[in-house]
C-alpha cells in the first residue's frame, strides 16, 4: 500500500471496494500507476474514456476554455452550451437539450420531465423500469433499480414499478393510462450487457405511443458511439421521447444531458428544474471536442467493425471453453458470462497489466476505449481467456 492508498483508506468514505493501485497518468488506451507500471484500460473508466485518456483535442479545448470562461450561472447564455445543445439535437432527432453533471442527474431530470408531461395529461406519474437495469444512485434512480441498492435507504420514492426485461407480455399485463413513462437501456450495462431484442423494443415503444407514455432511453453507458452507432437506439429504428447521456459525453470531463421532444419541453416552466454547474462552458467545450473527435476520426465505423470481429472471435473461443456460459455484445460493449464469480479474474488481470471489470457477479465486461487497435484488443482478449482458464483450474484444484 503506497502513502496515497494509506491516506485514501483513512479518509475516503468506504463506498468503493478499491483495487490496490494508485493511477497517476493516462494516454490513449493506457494508464500508469505510482510505481510506473503500465496498464491497458479495458474498462475505459466505465465507458467514459471512449476517445482514450487525455486526448490532445479534448485537453486543448479544456485548456482554452479554462483560460476564457469556466463557469457562469445558467441565468446566462454561453456559446459552448448553445452549440452542444444544437449538436445533440441534430444527432438525436429530438428538439431540446438540458445539461447536468452525471448520468443519475440526467435520469432524474428525465423522470421529472416525464412526470410533468404526464401530469398535464391526467396521469398519476408511475415510471416503469426493467429488471437488470441501472439508472444511478440517487433516491429516484435507485427506486427504478435493484432491491439490493435500496436496502437501508428506505423509504424510497413511490411511483416506480419494475417488470422483466425483453418480455413484452409482462408490459402488456401492467400497461395502463396512469403510467407516465418507461425508462430503459437499449443495452443494459451494469445488469450484464443485456441487449434489448429489436422486435421487443419496437413493440414496447409502439405500445407506449398508443397510451401517451413517455419513452426514456437511458444511453448513459451505451450511447456516444459505444455500440457502433452514435446512439444505441439507432440499431432499433425507434423514436424515443427522451434520451439521457453522460459518461463518454465529456471525454472524461463530467457532464450529463437530457434530450427531449418539443412537445415534452413545452410542459416545462421556468424554475421547474435546474442546476448550478450543469452544462457549464468548460464541460460543454469538452463534450463538443469529444463529439468532434468521434466524427473526424470515424470512431463509429471503426467501433462497429472491431466490435463484430471481436465478438466473433469470442464466440469461437466460447465453444471450446466450458466455463464460458455466454458471450454477447454490440459494438465495443461486450460481455463474457462465466459459471463462476469474476472478481478474482479482475484482480489477476491487474497484475498482468489490464484493467478489466466484472458486473452482475459472473459477467466480465469489456468496455475498452473505442480508439483501441485490433492488435491491442486481441492481446486483451487473449490474456483474459488465459486468466479465466488459470483461475478456473486453481479453483478446481
Contact residues: ligand PLP, CB under 6 A: 46, 102-104, 107, 134-136, 185, 189-190, 218, 220-221, 246
Minimum separation from the CB atom of position 247 to ligand PLP (A):
6
- Residue 52 or 186 having the CB closest to ligand PLP: 186
- Residue 218 or 337 having the CB closest to ligand PLP: 218
Q: What is the DSSP letter of 248?
A: G
Which backbone phi and psi does 129 adopt, to 5 degrees?
-125, 180
- Residue 218 or 241 having the CB closest to ligand PLP: 218
- Residue 162 or 323 having the CB closest to ligand PLP: 162
Minimum separation from the CB atom of position 15 to ligand PLP (A):
12
Strands 242-245 and 256-260: antiparallel
> Which residue sits closest to ligand PLP, CB atoms considered?
103
What residues have CB less than 8 Å from 39, skipping those under 6 apart?
A: 21, 30, 31, 32, 33, 350, 353, 354, 355
| Given the residues 130, 165, 218, 233, the one annotated as active site | 218
| Given the residues 98, 99, 130, 134, the one annotated as active site | 134
Minimum separation from the CB atom of position 324 to ligand PLP (A):
24
Distances (CA, A) of 83 to 5, 70, 292, 313: 41, 16, 12, 40
Distance CA 355, CA 49 (A): 13
- Residue 107 or 285 having the CB closest to ligand PLP: 107
| Given the residues 247, 302, 362, 392, the one annotated as active site | 247
What residues have CB less than 8 Å from 287, skipping those under 6 apart?
A: 84, 249, 250, 251, 253, 255, 257
Distances (CA, A) of 108 to 38, 43, 89, 157: 37, 25, 20, 12
**CB of 259 within 8 A of CB of 243?**
yes
- Residue 258 or 387 having the CB closest to ligand PLP: 258
- Residue 200 or 379 having the CB closest to ligand PLP: 200
Minimum separation from the CB atom of position 185 to ligand PLP (A):
5
Minimum separation from the CB atom of position 177 to ligand PLP (A):
27
The verdict on whether 134 is a catalytic residue reads: yes
- How would DSSP label each residue in 271-287? TSS--SSTT-HHHHHHH
Strands 160-163 and 126-130: parallel
Minimum separation from the CB atom of position 124 to ligand PLP (A):
25
The verdict on whether 218 is a catalytic residue reads: yes
Cell of 288: 463538443
Please list, residue by residue across 117-154, b when 16 or more beta carbons sit within 10 angstroms of its beta carbon and e when fewer do.
Answer: bbeeeebebbbbbbbbbbbbebebbbbbbeeebeeeee
**CB of 314 within 8 A of CB of 381?**
yes
Bridge partners, 334 (sequence order): 329, 366
The verdict on whether 322 is a catalytic residue reads: no
Q: Cell 435507504 sits at which residue?
A: 153
Minimum separation from the CB atom of position 233 to ligand PLP (A):
13
Hey, which residues are catalytic here? 134, 218, 247
Amino acid at each position: 500500500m503506497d502513502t496515497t492508498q494509506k491516506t485514501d483508506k483513512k479518509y475516503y468514505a468506504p463506498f468503493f471496494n478499491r483495487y490496490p493501485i494508485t493511477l497517476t497518468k493516462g494516454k490513449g488506451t493506457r494508464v500508469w500507476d505510482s510505481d510506473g507500471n503500465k496498464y491497458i484500460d479495458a474498462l475505459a473508466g466505465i465507458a467514459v474514456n471512449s476517445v482514450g485518456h487525455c486526448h490532445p483535442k479534448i485537453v486543448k479545448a479544456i485548456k482554452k476554455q479554462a483560460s476564457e470562461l469556466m463557469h457562469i450561472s445558467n441565468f446566462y447564455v454561453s456559446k459552448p452550451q448553445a452549440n452542444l445543445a444544437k449538436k445533440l439535437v441534430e444527432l438525436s432527432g429530438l428538439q431540446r437539450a438540458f445539461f447536468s453533471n452525471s448520468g443519475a442527474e440526467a435520469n432524474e431530470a428525465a423522470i421529472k420531465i416525464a412526470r410533468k408531461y404526464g401530469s398535464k395529461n391526467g396521469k398519476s406519474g408511475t415510471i416503469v423500469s426493467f429488471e437488470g437495469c441501472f439508472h444511478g444512485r440517487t433516491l429516484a434512480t435507485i427506486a427504478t433499480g435493484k432491491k439490493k441498492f435500496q436496502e437501508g435507504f428506505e423509504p424510497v420514492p413511490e411511483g416506480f414499478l419494475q417488470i422483466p426485461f425483453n418480455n413484452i407480455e409482462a408490459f402488456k399485463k401492467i400497461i395502463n393510462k396512469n403510467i407516465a413513462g418507461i425508462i430503459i437501456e437499449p443495452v443494459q450495462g451494469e445488469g450484464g450487457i443485456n441487449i434489448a431484442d429489436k422486435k421487443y423494443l419496437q413493440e414496447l415503444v409502439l405500445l407506449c405511443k398508443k397510451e401517451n407514455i413517455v419513452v426514456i432511453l437511458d444511453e448513459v453507458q451505451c450511447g456516444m458511439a459505444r455500440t457502433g452507432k452514435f446512439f444505441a437506439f439507432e440499431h432499433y429504428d425507434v423514436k424515443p421521447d427522451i434520451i439521457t447521456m453522460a459518461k463518454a459525453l465529456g471525454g472524461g470531463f463530467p457532464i450529463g444531458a437530457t434530450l427531449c421532444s418539443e412537445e415534452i419541453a413545452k410542459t416545462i416552466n421556468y424554475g421547474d428544474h435546474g442546476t448550478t454547474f450543469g452544462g457549464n462552458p468548460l464541460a460543454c467545450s469538452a463534450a463538443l471536442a469529444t463529439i468532434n473527435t468521434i466524427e473526424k476520426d470515424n470512431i463509429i465505423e471503426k467501433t462497429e467493425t472491431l466490435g463484430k470481429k471481436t465478438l466473433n472471435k469470442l464466440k469461437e473461443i466460447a465453444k471450446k471453453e466450458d466455463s464460458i456460459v455466454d458471450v454477447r455484445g454490440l459494438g465495443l460493449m461486450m460481455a463474457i458470462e462465466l459459471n463462476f464469480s469474476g472478481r478474482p479474474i479482475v484482480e489477476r488481470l491487474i497484475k498482468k497489466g489490464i484493467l478489466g471489470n466484472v458486473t452482475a457477479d459472473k459477467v466480465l465486461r469489456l468496455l475498452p476505449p473505442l480508439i483501441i487497435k485490433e492488435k491491442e484488443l486481441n492481446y486483451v482478449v487473449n490474456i483474459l481467456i488465459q486468466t479465466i482458464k488459470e483461475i478456473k483450474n486453481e479453483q478446481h484444484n
